[in-house]
Amino acid sequence: MNNSNVKAEQICFDGQVINDFAEILTKNELKKIILSSFKGSYIKNGMIYGSHRSKQYCIYFKNISYLGTPHLLYKKRIQIPRDFKQIYDENISKGITTLLIGIYIYKSLVLFCDFNTKKYITNRLNNSSAHVYTIDLKNGHIFGAFQKTDFKGNEITVFNSANINKYLDNKLIGDVNLNLEMVSVFDEFFLMLERHWHGIACYSEMISANFSNKYQSEWPGFYLEFRFDKYIKENDKSEVVCYRQNKKKDAIDLDLYFPQLSSYGDLKAHSLDSDGIQGNDYKTIMSILENKNIYYIICNHDTTKDKNKGYEVTIFWNKLQNKPNLMSYSERMKNSIDLRSYYILEISKSNMHYLDIFNQGRNSNGAKREPKISIKTKNINNFLIHQLSL
């Protein structure tokens, strides 16, 4: 076993993340781990084979290691040699599924990561890489099995030895769902939403229901909250997620609570023409992260400005409130949005140091506004635990 010469992020058995040297195994050491973990597996022509519920598979295995300087310390990978496609093609002609498995080891912790071959097999496999991130390995360890599609559309599944059969059921049979329970709830919610939202229609619907934030100028985010509140009331999901607001001074100003995870969260509407995602009050977030995780549910959309549509929403909004200036907020008002995707982002003690601070400047009275957190697009993958195109 060799150690990498650069300290990168490593996952401890207690779930903490520290910076330390990686543990890189030899090919024979990797083989021993697979043969002892995948029950009934065997070596043939230098490759490892096995079967699960009458489905044959072949394991192509590599070390998971740090991507290397100058990359951020949470970025890890396996290297895919050129002969992978040849082995893949030979196996598929025999009805055998080739599993591309990375092995991560740090002290007593051993994790496996399946890299879905559908995308990689079409790449030029000249020592190309498949990527996995600290948050994926950590969640695979905590939950036993964890699956996500990353920011670039690559599907990865991280699992421990106790969940190998569950992984194989998911991979080879397709009758086991490895997503977190909250994923199913939010997938259902977002898939039922209309893809095109027009400001006048959304304001009218919120006013008709007497929603508390029916007149807010940034209507997409509040309409998202309105629809989720309605969804929660009509579908009993309280064991998974609760929608609640507490705007009192010194209260936690986050709209979601996840009872099973003892964690808070928030809904955010995010325009795809803006770089990064702006979050909540910095002090609030930091205080929660002392003991709990925070989950952001981000609705990504394209935006049409109202000034490009004759200010129709602006005038409607100002008339509703009997404002003398019908062009109030005209330069910033959104006419409509088109939903494109949604993310679930997880913020914890392990990745909080990758957050940025967004300074809001000052209020109209000159008082300094409290800073908020933000997440840059380049760091999304180390917060992302799920995404879905809409």
Q: If you write DSSP's letter for every residue of 247-297 in order, what string do you get?
A: -STTS---SEEETTTTEEEEEEEEETTSSSEEEEEHHHHHHHTTT--EEEE
What percent of the chain is modeled with pLDDT above 70? 93
pLDDT at res. 152: 86
Residue 124 is predicted with a pLDDT of 59
3-class secondary-structure state, position 115: strand
Q: Which amino acid is at 134?
A: T
How much is the pLDDT for 123? 64
Beta bridge partner(s), residue 77: 65, 131
CB atoms within 10 A of CB 376: 12
Average pLDDT of the segment spanning 365-369? 66
pLDDT of residue 83: 86
**What pLDDT does residue 369 have?**
74
Rounded percentage of the chain residues whose pLDDT exceeds 90: 81
Which of 9-13, 44-48, 106-110, 159-163 is predicted least confidently? 44-48
Task: Quick: pLDDT tens for 240-276.
Answer: 999 887 655 555 779 999 999 999 999 999 999 888 8
Q: Which residue has the higher pLDDT, 251 or 233?
A: 233
Statement: residue 364 has pLDDT above 70? no
Q: What distance in Å separates the CA atoms of residue 101 and residue 78, rounded to the nearest whole number?
A: 9
pLDDT digits (tens, 9 = 90+) for 117-128: 887 776 655 558
Q: What does the pLDDT average to over 77-83?
A: 88
What is the rounded distance in angstroms from the CA atom of residue 26 to the CA atom of residue 33?
11
Q: pLDDT per residue over 14-67, tens digit each? A: 999 999 999 999 999 999 999 999 999 999 988 999 999 999 999 999 999 999
Q: Degrees (nearest 5) of the Cα angle 239, 242, 245? A: 160
Read off the tokens for 27: 């090919």
Binning pLDDT at 50, 70 and 90, where does residue 78 land? very high
Supply the pLDDT for residue 275.
82
Q: Contacts from 9-14 at CB under 8 Å and sequence distance 24+?
A: 9/66, 9/73, 9/74, 9/134, 10/106, 11/104, 11/106, 11/109, 11/111, 11/134, 11/137, 11/138, 11/141, 12/106, 12/107, 12/109, 13/107, 13/108, 13/109, 13/141
Q: Rounded mean pLDDT of the chain?
A: 92
